[in-house]
Chains A and B, each alone.
Chain A
Amino acid sequence: MDDERLAHLRAVADLPDLTGTRYRLIRRLGSGGMATVYLVEDTALRREAALKVLSDPDPSGDLAARLVEEARLLAGLEHPNLAPVHDVGTLPDGRVFYVMKYVRGARLDEWIATGPDRPALLRLFIKVCDAVSFAHAHGVVHRDLKPQNIMVGEFGEALVLDWGVTKVLGRLDPPAVGMPVGRRPGTADGSIVGTPAWMAPEQARGDLAAIDSRTDVYALGAILYFLLGRRPPFPPGTGEESLRKVLESDPASLRSIDPSIPRQLQAIAAKAMAKHSADRYPAVGDLSADVLRFLDGLAVEAYPESIFERAGRLFARTRTLAALIAAYTLMRLLILWLTGR
């Protein structure tokens, strides 16, 4: 069997069987964790949609239950920065699927290459924070926030995707089936979910009981780091080495990567990414509020500024007013000097 035939058979074996459904397959968009996402046409509504279907085999039925739970959870989270779910069901081949809005645009890591300026990056980051904060208010922790799971739409809208490894606070954690990256004895369930370069230390330890909304605060800090430094805080990888770096190392300081990054933003990212969750922002809203304060030229909570920095910031913030006052004063002095001569 040659490579071309094998590649075709692989695609055939993974293709969802859409016969008898209202969906027509267009193309594969990507795979991650237990599922594959396809671009389909909803022939009833004559619009494109994204169909997520279980691709992992599921002898126990646990994965199917999890995907249905993900769909229902997302359907309950109606927010402009979360993709709405339109349908959920089982295909003729027995696989569970759900259909959601297809977002035209680019992944955050691709979008950043288009060269948006820093204020645009920060405004987008705040939108991401809004979506995550909304989910937290409904008791849902994402646990796998990373640039690859954030889409930036054609009109600058941000959508947080892939809620497949979420944790619903106050509920027993289901088996970690989404994206296991390692196994460690002595952890809550012996497995670790998430992506090491973006995961909080408590996730890297596999300490499921310690995972709460501040776990997402850490990942958002890592995303802020990426937006500012144009590289992830830790090199991508899935092995023990990557997990050890998350647990034991600090990422390179942002200003060592790019000295033009303001100290306040560096401090915000560092506070969000504190190794101990108690040292982080207590909630995502506090993190985004600090970023918003920076955008408004106000003092940020994460950075205790010196008196000179404060004066400089106040001057920068009131630069126009100060210039007008200075011009007015100069003019009055000139008039006084001319009339007194």
Chain B
Amino acid sequence: MPGGGDRFPTTHFSVVRGASSDRPEERARSLEAIVAAYWRPVYKLVRLRFGRPPEDAEDLTQAFFTRALEKDFFAGFDPVKGRFRTYLRTCVDRFVANEDKAATRLKRGGGATTETCDFASAEAEIAVAGAAARDRSPEELFDAEWVRSLFALAVESLRAACASAGKEQHFELFRRYDLEDAGEGKVTYDDLAREFGTTPSLVTNHLAWTRREFRRILLDTLRQVTSSDEEFRLEARLLLGTAPADPSSHG
């Protein structure tokens, strides 16, 4: 996914609120950020829930976001009534149903989404996930893809942040240990120290710093696609997998 690193501003600006701004440029910028976070869940929902072939799903995904900008879909979002994620999914459901009724063939369009959406990679993920993805309920599927999207954006933002701070080695350690090895234990801190010509204690410190940054960036990204502190907190539980459905066994 290209460009994630600079798509999200570093301030705590809420793109959800910005999407209904009176200023067209702010609205467009906010929509672009929403597309970055949501195009993948929307595409997979259209593909797997509505059973659309890839080309139709691409068209519908792009048309949805284009129409959202034109028709100001997100201005109708009321944070008191629920979460933005749920609202957006409902908008997608309604949009696809209306397209079905109109029986219109959507034209493939440029618009804001063309450069952002790497549909081929989403399609590859569907192929890898196979039946497991198809067996999920639409809500589970959408939520899981939303989580995946935010993590992917956060990794890209981390890469950009490390590059601009001159900490490329920090990111490389993170990439080798947490992205490539992903906790499988094939790579140790000693291996990395040898590989990068440093000491295991520096690997420990650099990884700790990078992980702290990763958490901060991930939560910043989430904060921008939520509209209130409460929504932010509740969505963080879903994002981090700490929802109370898994009750504490201690404490």
Contacts and interface: CB of A to CB of B under 8 A. Distances in A.
A183 to B, nearest CB: 9
Contact of A56 (B183, B233, B246): B233
A30 B183 contact: no
A161 interface: yes
A148 interface: yes
A327 interface: no
B85 to A, nearest CB: 16
Contact of A57 (B208, B223, B247, B248): B223
Interface in B192-215: 204-205, 208, 211-212, 214-215
Interface string A83-105: 10000000011000000101100
A1 B129 contact: no
A93 B250 contact: no
A57 B220 CA distance: 10
B163 interface: no
A151 interface: yes
B234 to A, nearest CB: 8
A279 interface: no
Chain B interface SS verdict (over half): helix
B215 A30 contact: no
A4 B233 contact: no
Contact of A161 (B128, B214, B243, B250): B250
Contacts, number: 135
Given A11-B183, A57-B219, A60-B229, A162 B178 contact: no
Contacts of B106: none
A161 B204 contact: no
A19 B242 contact: no
Contacts of A77: none
Interface string A53-86: 0011101100000000000000000000001000
Interface string A1-12: 111111111111
B91 interface: no
B109 interface: no
A6 B247 contact: no
Interface stretch (B49-57, B63-71, B147-155): B147-155
A12 B211 contact: yes
Interface stretch (A33-41, A249-257, A265-273, A292-300): A33-41
B237 interface: yes
Contacts of B179: 5, 9
A29 B214 contact: no
A6 B147 contact: yes
Query: How big is the A interface, by class?
Result: 35 or more
A29 B183 contact: no
A30 B246 contact: yes
A179 B147 contact: no
Interface string B218-251: 1100110000011011001101111110111111
Given A13-B214, A30-B250, A31-B243, A3 B129 contact: yes
Contacts of B214: 9, 12-13
Contacts of A92: 208, 212
A231 interface: no
B223 A10 contact: no
B236 A56 contact: yes
A50 B250 contact: yes
A177 B208 CA distance: 29
Interface in B154-182: 155, 178-179, 182
B248 A161 contact: yes
Contacts of B247: 30-32, 148-149
A35 B204 contact: no
A107 interface: yes
18 contacts: A3-B129, A7-B241, A9-B155, A9-B182, A9-B214, A10-B239, A12-B214, A13-B151, A14-B242, A30-B246, A32-B248, A35-B251, A36-B242, A59-B223, A93-B212, A151-B249, A161-B248, A162-B248
Closest 7 CB pairs of A and B: A32-B248, A31-B242, A8-B182, A30-B248, A37-B251, A30-B249, A8-B183
Interface of A: 1-15, 17, 19, 29-37, 39, 50, 52, 55-57, 59-60, 83, 92-93, 100, 102-103, 107, 148-149, 151, 161-162, 177, 179-180, 238
Interface of B: 12, 125, 128-129, 147-148, 151-152, 155, 178-179, 182-183, 204-205, 208, 211-212, 214-215, 218-219, 222-223, 229-230, 232-233, 236-237, 239-244, 246-251
